[in-house]
Every structure is written in C-alpha cells, then in structure tokens.
Structure 1
C-alpha cells in the first residue's frame, strides 16, 4: 500500500463522478493519506468500485482501490449527502461531446453541482478537475456562492495519460490551480498544497493562476499534442508520395530539442475519450468567443487524424487485391492505445468495422478490451487468443501496439497464417526483420523503407 505519512490525517475529501478520472483520483488521494468518499449516480459503477473493480482497466488502480477499501479510508456511495462530511469536493464528472455537435456537454457536471449544493458548508472548497470550456469555472463559482457564500471554488485540471493515470496522479509533472484573486485564492491554493503535499515536497512545479488560464491549460495541451500527431501523419502521406520513411523523419526531427520525439509516432492516429472530443470542444468554444479563426487549424488536425483510418482501410483493401469479401483478416488490437481497455473512438475498431462492412472475415483480438468489444459491437467477431485470431489469416493488421504484438516472432508467425502479409498501423515493427522472414510488410509513411 502506498502512503504519504506527512498528509493530514483529518482531511476528508469527496470525489463526485467516479468514472475513469474519479476512480483514479479517489484511490490515489487515499494512497496519499487522505480519507475519501466517492459519489456517483450509477449504482452498478458504485457497486463495482466497492468491490475494487474499476470502470476501466488502468495499471495499479484495482490494487489501490483494494488497499483503500481495506483501510476503511475509502468508500463509495450513490448518496450525495455523503459529501457533507468532506471539506474538499472534487468534481470529476465526464464532459462528453454534445450529441450532434462539437461543443462539450456540461449537463452531467451541472447536475453534479446541483446535487452538491445542499451539502456545502462554510469553508468548503469545490475543486473542478473535469475538462471544460473556458468560462465554466467562473459560472460555477457564482452558482456555488449564491447558495453558500463562505464556500469557494478552484479549478485543478487533470493531465492523465491512460495507462499511466495512477503514476500521473501520485507524481505529476506539474500541478495547475485556477483560483480567485485575493486572500480567497491564496487560501484555496494553500489547501490544495496540503492535498498534494508529497508532490509539492518533491519539487513538482505548481502554477497558481486565474480560472481561465487553468481551463485553457488543459485544452491547449490536448490541442498541441493532437496537432503534433496530425503533423507527423501529414508527413507520412508526403513520405508515401516521395518514397521517404516517416519513422526516420520523426527520429531526425525528434533530435531537435525544440521539437522532441514524443507524439511524433506516425500511423493510425489518435482516439480515446479525450483528445478527439476535447479539440472539437476547444474550437467550438473559441468560435462562441469570436476567436474561432485563430483555432481554425484544429479542423484540419481533426480531419487529418480521421483520414488515417480511411488510409489504413485503403492499404488493407489493396493487400486483399481489391476483393476483401471472404478474406480472413486478423486485427491485433481493439483498445485505442496499449495499457488500456478503453475503446471509445478507437481507430482500430473503426478500421475493423469498415472492413467487415465490405465482406471481409474480420477477427479481432486484444489483451484487455475484448469484453468491451463484445458488449458494444456484438456483430464483430473476436478471438480470445492471438493464435485463434491469426490461424489461417490472409492479412494481419497491427492496430494497437501492445508489447506482445510488437515482440511477435515473424518466422514462427509465418507458419500459422495462410498469407504472410502484415500492415503495421502503428509503425511499431522492424520492416527489415519482417521482410527477411518472408513477409510482405506495409505501413503508413514507409514508402522508402
């Protein structure tokens, strides 16, 4: 069990919204020495969390939940009145894309605040962690203080990477506080420093700023990362047109310290529950504020990313000789990234669905996400093991770069497939090694490899 003995034993927190973000935050706060009650309207989710079963797979999360529940300092409930015993209330409610639109849907966040208001006490601090359009914090503060003038609000955006979320919470690379001006803001920042005492003591940079800047920090970070990914994928198309190698290009660019190599992995592009919807919401809010022209490039970032899926399908159809009907295609990976079972806006699943829709015999396998595929897409065929998926395959698509797929032996694999053809959708394999083993190797942006 992870503990920080320097934390305040009497600091009680509530975490409102116990999905991916909330579950990680609640368990991690207990690991840092606090007492936490997690609150959510979804009874099935609360029941699962009470049994140390998180809503999404995340390394170390189940262990932290089990430790926290066993210590008696973590509990979960559907009763919003449980927040009355806490001093600090973290809002971790999801802000999905609006149905039929690009903006963020804040209905669940607003409902969470409405449910919390009757239980606020003088001196309480409400802390937003959800990703929201700029201006949301100021609006929510007005609501909170109209009911409890002696309560305060801070915005403390999360910067979690799926597959690393526990580590990112316990040892973040920076902490951002959006607080009001004057003594109220100083007091709010001081209280947050007590909560994150270990990270502060370890020298983690703390940026205390205004609400708008804190809100923009998360949105701008995601927009920049998405832009970097789409840029290298645009370069991949240029490499295909010229015979260049996008991986070598990315390596060369990455040695420039102004650029760096991270997020220059060309391939199938990004997905998941954050980047796609966040850049759309960022642009939508900019347009509402009259600044849409300055962020218009994000439309192209989004379009380039979505086009990667179409390009991968084109490669697969070409590998099938333009006649995919009845061809057995093994899809390695369903989660949007390795280390997670999250299939929200998964590029891998979109490719699989498109190929299945034109008659291909598509079989999907994944180390973590198969249950979610079966639950949400029962029309797609799945295989519980890698051997079952690739046996008799005429084409293999590597679409999620799980280590067990990246480390496959091309010599041994060739013995169990019908045709030794592989498309590396993540540029994770060594083309020379696979070709030397007799494979036809193809990838996005590797025209000269």
Structure 2
C-alpha cells in the first residue's frame, strides 16, 4: 500500500519508518524543510534506539521518502496518517489543535480534484474526545469522498520501534466498514503476528489514549504518595511496591517510586483530559487527576529538600552533580523533564550545578544554558558536595562508588529514582538518601 505520514516529529518519523519496514511505500510530509532534508538523508533528528538503522534501510530501499508538499502526498497515496503535535496551552491546560486544524484544512484543499476516489485520513495525534467527529464534518463538507478514522499511538520513548512493530493492541476508531478494512490491511503483518485489533467508534478511540495515560499517571502518583507516607512512618516504599505488585490485579509495572513522570505525554494528556472533562460538565468525575498532577510535581520539590538536608540546610556556594537530564532513559527528550526541573531549582537556590546525561546534554544545554554540563560522569561529579541521581540510565547503575568517592568533595548521594543498590555505595563511605526509604538514614 502507499501511505503518507503528515508530521514527521517523534510519532510521525517512527510511524513512517515502521510502516516502510513492514512493506508499505511511505511518503513523509513536514513543513520543516531542515527536518525533511535530514530524514531524506537517513538522519534522525532525535535519539530513539533502532530508528536510525531502520530509517536508512527504508530510504535506501526506496520505500520511504519525504517532502514538504502536501499536494504531492495527496497525489502519492489515499491513506494519510496525521501525526502533528497537539501541545498544551500553558494557561488553560487545553490541547492546542491549531496544527491539526491547519493540516485538515490544507488536506481538504488538496483533495479537491484528487484522482483518488476514496481517501482516508487517519489521526494518530492525541486529542480531546469529540475532535475526530468535528474534523470528519469539516473534511466531509469539502470532500464527500473523504473519510476519517482515529488510530491512537501508544509509544514509549526509548521503545517506540518495538511498540510499533509489536504492539500490545491496535485501536481503530472508524465510521465505516471500508475504513476498518483499510486499517486492517495497513496493519496486516502486525495482526498476522498476533497483535489484537480493537475496532470501535471515533470517540472511544480518542478516549482509549487519554484514559490509558491517565491511569498510568495515577498509578505512578499513587506509589509516590505512599512514599510520603513511608517517610513519615519509617516504612520502606520499595518493599511496599514489590508486595503490592505481586497481586495480579495490580501488577508491578508503573509502581516505581521516585521523582515522578515527565515528558511530552503524561503531564500534557492528564491536563488536557481534565480540561475537556470540565468543558463537558464532568470536572468532578476526573478531579482526582489534578491531585495526581500535584503529587507528581511535589516529588521534584521533595527531592530538592532531601538534597538540601544532606547539605546542612543550604545550597549556597555548594557544588551539585546531577546524573540525568532526559525525562526518562533511552531518550534525549527533555520536555517537562523532572531531572532538569530539579537541576534548575537547585541552581536557583545558589548552587553550582553540573549535569551529565548519555544522550540529552545538547537539548538540555539549549533549554537551560545557565546550568553547566559534562560529557562524563567523573567530570560532572568533580568536587561535588552532593550527587543527585535523577534519570535511571543503566550506565548509572554500573558506576563504581569507590572510584567516584575519590572525585567528589563529599560522598553524599540522593537516589531520586530508587534504582541504585545502596550496599556498595554505603560500603564505599557514601551517605545515601532516597524518597520513601527512611531506613537508609
């Protein structure tokens, strides 16, 4: 099949490369000429394991190309995946749909006189419930032959290629049997490999993404709330989370106490979900999500206070080493990064802060030029009064505490991700603190 992918940011670039990988001819479309040039040359402008190799393979095989022309895309194929961003309005929390509306309006204009008898626009962007139906009316008024479906993405940064090629489910919000058949054909190799296909209406498909992210965010904030209770009572949150996770009704995933979630999805989506519910007069039904958001944000402040106590009550004239800038490992994404937020808070309180990250230093430096950065851990920790472990990269679990103790001024560590083994650190003379684990004191 010949597919187009409109919007080649994180979601779009991954989707385009993966669709080419499973055998389709794909044309990616973006208004960013530099991005199009980079992708056409086989260069991925962000870090995602496995994507670069797949992109180069597809481009060289002639199955994947890129353009800035939507009109060219309309001539190329009749199934158009829309992957443009829907950022959060910082004032209201409402999803900003201007880019999505712009694409639909331009697509409608290009469809006038199109050689394709039946055109399917497939939304992958995360949107408030009701958006797809409105877009279908908007597109249908111009081109009656055009149909709209919604096919939300469930990508985890750092695992996006795997999540696309081996999805836990493919959700298709459709209005017609023809649209469902088209999407089944697109994903046939994945369905043949056992991926479940969930066919539903537009509104349910939109809600599946929002509800899933809201639930995951709630699970993370729940265990972080329990970490606060553990700090007050002397209990250990890691043992608590482990015991809870043995219950098959709960499970261990996302019961990871620590600094909390960030990135471009969970924070934005729960705020947009809450805002949409309030528009529908259902604010009380999802009011708990505001508390979920508050608990998550509070973890950053609690981490700063934990570090402050280790320093005797003040950051003034102290050196602080920060391990991690990306919002999660295996990514260079620093959007709403808890790690970077903590680093900035510490610096604003008078400390000199030096940050290390295996992949995100360039992005972090551009976003926070007032911080200092280092390309190796030892340099970041040189003469540090405290080390903050803020992003759970595997490299940090493999550090040698004894060697690092010879570099710092004071061997003091805050494990804000609860992923470091405390025994070797304490054996090497380090003072170790972690959220929800008062027994380490």
Q: Same fold (TM over 0.5)?
A: yes
Give matches, 1:277-292, under 5 Å: 277-292=268-283
Q: Which residue of 1 aligns with 2:61?
A: 71
Q: Which residue of 2 aligns with 1:43?
A: 33
Shift of 1:115: 1.5
Structure 1 runs of 4+ with >6 Å offset: none
Shift of 1:89: 0.0
Name structure 1 gaps, 5 residues minimum. 1-10
Q: Which residue of 2 aligns with 1:60?
A: 50
Deviation digits for residues 309-363 of structure 1, max 9, x if unmatched? 0000101111111121121111000000000000000000110001111110100
Q: Which residue of 1 aligns with 2:242?
A: 251
**1:102 and 2:93 are equivalent in the alignment:** yes
Shift of 1:436: 2.0
1:193 equivalent among 181, 184, 189:
184
Give matches, 1:361-380, under 5 Å: 361-380=352-371
Shift of 1:55: 3.0
**1:16 and 2:11 are equivalent in the alignment:** no
Q: Which residue of 2 aligns with 1:26?
A: 16
Q: How many residues align?
A: 435
1:206 equivalent among 197, 203, 227:
197
Shift of 1:412: 2.0
1:15·1:39 contact (CA, 8 Å) conserved in 2?
yes
| Distance of 1:25 and 1:294 partners within structure 2 | 34
Shift of 1:54: 2.0
RMSD over aligned Cα atoms: 1.0
| Distance of 1:416 and 1:448 partners within structure 2 | 27
| Distance of 2:92 and 2:53 partners within structure 1 | 38
Deviation digits for residues 4-30 of structure 1, max 9, x if unmatched? xxxxxxx11110011000000001110
1:267·1:427 contact (CA, 8 Å) conserved in 2?
yes
| Distance of 1:234 and 1:103 partners within structure 2 | 26
Give matches, 1:4-403, under 5 Å: 11-84=1-74, 85-120=76-111, 121-180=116-175, 185-403=176-394
TM-score w.r.t. the length of structure 2 is 0.97
Shift of 1:208: 0.2
Shift of 1:57: 0.8
Look up the SS of the partner of 1:154 in the other structure. Answer: strand
Shift of 1:128: 0.4
| Distance of 1:51 and 1:24 partners within structure 2 | 15
2:378·2:404 contact (CA, 8 Å) conserved in 1?
no
| Distance of 2:406 and 2:365 partners within structure 1 | 29
Shift of 1:390: 1.1
Deviation digits for residues 360-399 of structure 1, max 9, x if unmatched? 0100010000011122221111011112111221110000
Deviation digits for residues 378-429 of structure 1, max 9, x if unmatched? 1111011112111221110000010010121212221221111000010001
1:223·1:275 contact (CA, 8 Å) conserved in 2?
yes
